[in-house]
Structure 1
Amino acid sequence: MASTSNHPKAAPGVATDSHHPFRTGWTAFAAVLMIFGGAMAIFQGISAIAKDDVFVTTRNYVFQFNLTGWGWIHLILGIVIVLAGCALFTGALWARVAGVVLAGLGALANFAWLPHYPLWSIVLIAIDVFIIWALCAAPGGRERA
């Protein structure tokens, strides 16, 4: 007698119901951190665009870019990071990959932002590192308790 499964087939890149990535703690943790970190990057970008005199400007810095330009970079990157964080809740594999790439780009952008607002940059770099770690900690939905 052939056994039939009542479980529907998963779409490519989406895990099956028993190992759904959203149900794993690290993916949910990464999604929440991405939404929070992206929102903070959005606020960082808005404040840089609106009030250039709030931030410290340094001379002879390697990344010579005005604060308004950095503000637009952080604003756009923050929006994309929030959207990718929301996509992580679907459990799609592409969302995990995009999350790692975007968190890496966010960390690089905040590293370049260090002279303008060091404490904020260090906090956001740490959040990006936690996102990358959480998304890479348990690939394939196999987590250890």
Structure 2
Amino acid sequence: MAQRVSGWVGWVWFGGLAMFIAGVWNFFYGLAAVLGPDKRYLVSDAQLLVFNQQGWGWAHLIFGVIIAVVGLCVLTGQAWARLTAVVLITLNLITQFLYLPAQPWWSVIVIVLDVFVLWALIVHGDEAEAV
């Protein structure tokens, strides 16, 4: 007998697809930072931020690949990927609170999406494995 699934399975797939797209974007941002000119500072509205662009680029390259692979595996319904996705999305949710002063609207949108995707992965992830 076929198992009935709810509409939340779509949110699980949305989460996997969003993770894949975010991973690809992070990979290309990291690649641009690694291959671009080496800058050590960024000046914005009365603030000076000092950072290592090469380190930032390599971190985005590595995490981009990890996030993209986990997103694809969530789409295939693998249980380990769901757990890993929950950890990665939770970390993203926490970091969005740090970005609230700099980008309040974007951070709030990402926080809301992260909460929906976490809900779908945690509560309805078994349904996605069954499909």
Aligned residue number for residue 134 of structure 1: 117
Aligned residue number for residue 18 of structure 2: 33
How much has 1:93 moved relative to structure 2?
Answer: 2.8
Aligned residue number for residue 103 of structure 1: 89
Cα deviation 1:35-81 (Å, max 9, x = unaligned): 111111111111111113689624754xx540110000111001000
- What one-letter code is carried by the residue in structure 2 that aligns with 1:24? V
Cα distance 1:36–1:126, how it changes in 2: closer, same or farther (>3 A)? farther
- Alignment map for 1:66-81 (pairs within 5 Å): 66-81=52-67
TM-score, with normalisation over the residues of structure 1?
0.60
| Bigger strand fraction | 2
Aligned residue number for residue 44 of structure 1: 29
Cα deviation 1:77-131 (Å, max 9, x = unaligned): 010000000110222332222112223444666787x6xxx77xx8588557624
How much has 1:34 moved relative to structure 2?
Answer: 0.5
- What one-letter code is carried by the residue in structure 2 that aligns with 1:139? V
SS in 2 for 1:57: strand
- What one-letter code is carried by the residue in structure 2 that aligns with 1:51? G
- What one-letter code is carried by the residue in structure 1 that aligns with 2:87? V
Identity across aligned pairs (percent)? 30
| Structure 1 gaps, min length 5 | 1-6, 8-16
Aligned residue number for residue 13 of structure 1: none
| Bigger helix fraction | 2
- What one-letter code is carried by the residue in structure 1 that aligns with 2:70? A
| Structure 2 gaps, min length 5 | none
Paired residues in the alignment total 120
TM-score, with normalisation over the residues of structure 2?
0.65
The separation in 2 between residues aligned to 1:132 and 1:98, in whole angstroms, is: 15
| Higher radius of gyration, 1 or 2 | 1
- What one-letter code is carried by the residue in structure 2 that aligns with 1:130? L
CA RMSD of aligned residues (A): 3.9
